[in-house]
Structure 1
């Protein structure tokens, strides 16, 4: 859970770091991307409340004497787990939408090679689709995340080695 919090905070940090560079190429999309990452971060932080509810519920479950009380606590615990899952998927929807804006800026501005931007488009469209399907109750697993995972591995390496290609 600590790593989930670190991730949520890092998401905001990425938005703050990229905004100045993206704003030079498309201010409206840069603001959209920035806002989506802040919203994603907020949703991820709120989603951390649900697992924390499991601790007091488990203590109550142990001390509950009758079966009806245990059943109620189990139902509440399952709801908390489901809420965590749904909030995470909602955060992924927001990430997908905002990152499509991000990839659009990358593609149009040629800050990185276009092939990399295209992989990002495909990956975030897959993430968006997969998360929407999961929220609708049709969890297809992580198969649609593969191009996005490739983009999220290659892009940072590219940025560390080559940086952004600014044309003046």
Structure 2
């Protein structure tokens, strides 16, 4: 696998940027009970969350574009699949960005609404929150996971990163996708300790993978050597 050292360093940087933006995209007020009455007072949380999620779009797609030339040299079909799933994930990120300002609209309407209209606004709010969870924690995670399975399949075969790192990626992705299906089926919620614990291995692996790309990049020539000795 022939790699551009600068491209892998940029890719690692974009992973870190995406993770920081992901942390900033969390909007705690939306997880509060009866939060419609609180949103107007915490408008900045919603704005910061939307901006942060918007930053994740170029970070996640840019990561794939940086690695794509090296991955394509190894397996064009799988690398195209990886890039395609990243673009699908970017679409879900965009939906997440659009959804957040709608909470502000509902929150402002709720503060002015009569008691008879409040129940209807709360129902709309609950539907919107469910939609956001399904976009961010189901559709987005599954599309990213499927793409990253292709990525680590290429890296596993080429040995361009240590196999323990690729294997860790497979395990983390499987757990994260299982957590997403649990949310989809209503077995858990996105703020429960179980959901967070199931995503922790992938989160840690992502940090290690990013640091590996920054420090060492992708090894070159390992695939050829592996095939010759295999």
Give the TM-score band, short-chain normalised.
Answer: over 0.9
1:5-154 paired onto structure 2 within 5 Å? 5-65=54-114, 67-89=115-137, 90-139=139-188, 140-154=194-208
Question: Once the two structures are superposed, what CA deviation does each residue of 1:116-153 show, in whole Å capped at 9, x if it has no partner?
Answer: 10001101111111111111111241212222112101
How many aligned residue pairs are there?
A: 167
- TM-score w.r.t. length of structure 2: 0.70
8 Å Cα contact 2:169-2:202 kept in structure 1: yes
3-state SS, counterpart of residue 142 of structure 1: helix
3-state SS, counterpart of residue 141 of structure 1: helix
3-state SS, counterpart of residue 74 of structure 2: coil
Question: Once the two structures are superposed, what CA deviation does each residue of 1:82-119 show, in whole Å capped at 9, x if it has no partner?
Answer: 11111002100111111111110010001101111000
Unaligned runs of 5+ in 2: 1-48, 189-193, 225-230
What is the alpha-carbon distance in structure 2 between the residues aligned to residue 16 and residue 152 of structure 1? 17
What is the alpha-carbon distance in structure 1 between the residues aligned to residue 216 and residue 112 of structure 2? 59
What is the alpha-carbon distance in structure 2 between the residues aligned to residue 156 and residue 60 of structure 1? 43
8 Å Cα contact 1:43-1:87 kept in structure 2: yes
Moved more, 74-83 or 101-110: 74-83
Higher relative contact order (CA 8 A, sep 6+): 2
Structure 1 runs of 4+ with >3 Å offset: none
- TM-score w.r.t. length of structure 1: 0.94
Moved more, 135-144 or 99-108: 135-144
What is the alpha-carbon distance in structure 1 between the residues aligned to residue 125 and residue 152 of structure 2? 39
